[in-house]
Structure 1
Amino acid sequence: MQVKTMRLEAEEAKIIYQETAGLAIITIHRPQLKNALTANMWTQLANIASQVLDNPKNKVLIIRGSGENFTAGSDIKEFNSISLDKAEEAFLHMERTISIVENLPIPTIGVINGPAMGAGLELALACDIRIGSEKARMGIPVGKLGITLNNKFAKRLVDLVGPSATKDFVFTGRVYKAEEAFKVGMLNYLVAEKDLTRYSLRMGKLVAGMSPASCSAVKRSVRECIDSAPALWEGSTPFVDAVDFPEGVRSFVEKRQPQFTRQRL
């Protein structure tokens, strides 16, 4: 019986890809765990996003989560059984995957119906436009896990909400509800859940009808205007803290408050 359950969970953890009427649609599907992404799912997402342009009919990419979640980010429980080096590699892989989506020359739309947390928030922010329902929740609670935001992760937040609000997200573990996220620009559009799919597809088709040259040019121009972050930190400042990260992950798995004890200068 246990084996059957494990097999079912493995089958339900997947990235679904569809193409229709100029729209490429990626759906993150792991409903039993808030669409949390496993390492394999991050790889699937990277591969699919890299191949969207193989079909020249695709004018817009839509990314959404199944059910009432976008994605809770990475599956933290996976980190409880791997080394710090492997965890660091996993975070670098996440960043590379998110950057693939962010750097696509075609417009990208994130559809947020529920929590977009941690790396899931970063994936949402990598989209050009975000459409949310009243169930949208957006936050990056890395402070409870000993995860360090590298410059590219931080920059996506700073560009939208500013330096102080970005630090507030980490310092307090704050989560924005839909209205708050809409007011600060983390969501471009806020619509009723019952209308979300229809509205998102209509918006996708509207954008797909625009000049591809204009869309790709404005993406490039905007990026050049605001892209001041240096190259991704690799080697000097890791994603995972050698002391706080193991404690943060253990406390998550054990469902308790973390006990961070090391003094910082």
Structure 2
Amino acid sequence: MKVTINRTETNGKITLQESGGFAIVTIHRPELKNALTNRMWNDLAEMGKMITQNPKNKVVILRGSKTHFSAGSDIKQFNELTIAEANEAFRLMEEAISTFEKITLPTIGAINGPALGAGFELALACDIRIGTPHTLMGIPVGRLGITLNQPFAKRIADIIGKSRTMDLVYTGRLLNPTECYQLGLINYLLDDEEDINHFIINLGKRILEQSQASLLAVKRSVAYNYPTISIPWETGIQSSVDPIDFPEGVRSFVEKRKPNFQRRR
């Protein structure tokens, strides 16, 4: 396969490979569970926009390297940011996630391990998600003082419903592979003997055999019935992080201790 983009920074890179009608995007930072920095989120958004510019691309595959899909954003980087800079980081995340969500081509997510936080949201941006016995999904924002914004909440609620979304955020619990499959968070659940890459390529080839007009039409029709939130970022929840609890949540994460939150309504 031809590597058309290889965005690299210290200990992290994202690659885009284009071949045979497939555009394969890989998040590669395995030593940190494929957690993304701001630069990596920005590059991911750029790649998503470039994919549709190549008329040879017909199916998009999004995956993480080795044993994780993505742990979301690199929390440690927030320890050095102001509240305003943290909110800008969340804007970058949403831009990247919504870019993949709005790609006009069929998108397949290879959820070969944990997909947490913003990584969970990125997985939900894919049309079809493939899970394995190692899949875990969740968005434990309450441990950090993150205030879930409307687009993030809507992606979850559109699939599992209002009450289950509340439960997931209230408790911060992670969903095991069976729960993910039963709730519709993954479309296929493979067993240990099945190779996820082989399965996805075969699934992609089956999609390639279909009418491109039909594929484009169903994406448009579904998007019409499940529209993404178009509220300008600044008019939604005023901040994606709480100015009191978020700094404490990040410090406790870095220091590996239980947070001592002070916010009172």
The two structures have a TM-score, normalised by structure 2, of: 0.93
Asked if 1:57 corresponds to 2:34, the answer is no
Show the counterpart of 2:261: 260
**Residue 31, structure 1, aligned to residue 34, structure 2:** no
| Root-mean-square deviation over aligned CA pairs | 1.4
CA–CA distance in structure 1, aligned partners of residues 236 and 21 of structure 2: 42
Deviations 1:45-84 (A, max 9, x none): 1111110012111001000000010000000000000111
Compared with structure 1, are the counterparts of its residues 143 and 199 closer, same or farther at alpha carbon in structure 2 (3 Å cutoff)? same
Aligned equivalent of 1:179: 178
Instruction: Decide which moves more: 231-240 or 113-122.
Output: 231-240
Distance 1:63 1:236, change over 3 A: closer
1:14-25 mapped onto 2 (5 Å cutoff): 14-25=13-24
3-state DSSP of counterpart to 1:74: coil
Matches of 1:216 and 1:228 in 2, distance apart? 17
Counting aligned pairs with the same residue, the percent is: 53
Q: In the TM superposition, what is the alpha-carbon distance from 1:206 to its structure 2 partner?
A: 1.2
Would you say the 8 A contact 2:244–2:262 is kept in 1? no
- Is contact 1:17-1:48 (8 Å) kept? yes
Query: Tell me, what secondary structure is at the counterpart of 2:66?
Result: coil
Q: What per-residue deviation string (whole Å, max 9, x for no partner) do you get for residues 192-235 of structure 1?
A: 34421100111111112212221111111111112274514425
Larger displacement relative to structure 2 (11-20 or 96-105): 11-20
Distance 1:202 1:148 in 2: 39
Any conservation in 1 of the 2:68–2:112 contact (CA below 8 Å)?
Answer: yes
Deviation of 1:252 (Å): 0.6
Matched with 2:107 is 108
Q: Higher helix share goes to which structure?
A: 1
For residue 52 of structure 2, give the secondary structure of its aligned residue in structure 1: helix
Q: 1:3 corresponds to which residue?
A: none
In the alignment, structure 1 residue 245 sits paired with structure 2 residue 246: yes
* SS across alignment from 1:157: helix
1:155-234 maps to which residues of 2 (within 5 A)?
155-193=154-192, 194-227=194-227, 229=229, 231-234=231-234
C-alpha displacement of 1:262 = 2.0
What is the rounded CA distance, in whole Å, between the counterparts of 1:259 and 1:123 in structure 2? 29
Task: Please list every run of 5 or more consecutive structure 2 residues that lacks an aligned counterpart in the other structure.
Answer: 1-7
Distance 2:10 2:263 in 1: 41
**In structure 2, distance between residues paired with 1:121 and 1:15:** 17
Partner of 1:175, secondary structure, is coil
For the 8 Å contact 1:150–1:232, the answer to whether it is kept is: no
**Contact 1:70 1:113 survives alignment (8 Å):** yes
Q: Which amino acid aligns with 1:40?
A: R
Q: Would you say the 8 A contact 1:140–1:173 is kept in 2? A: yes
The CA deviation at 1:148 is 1.0
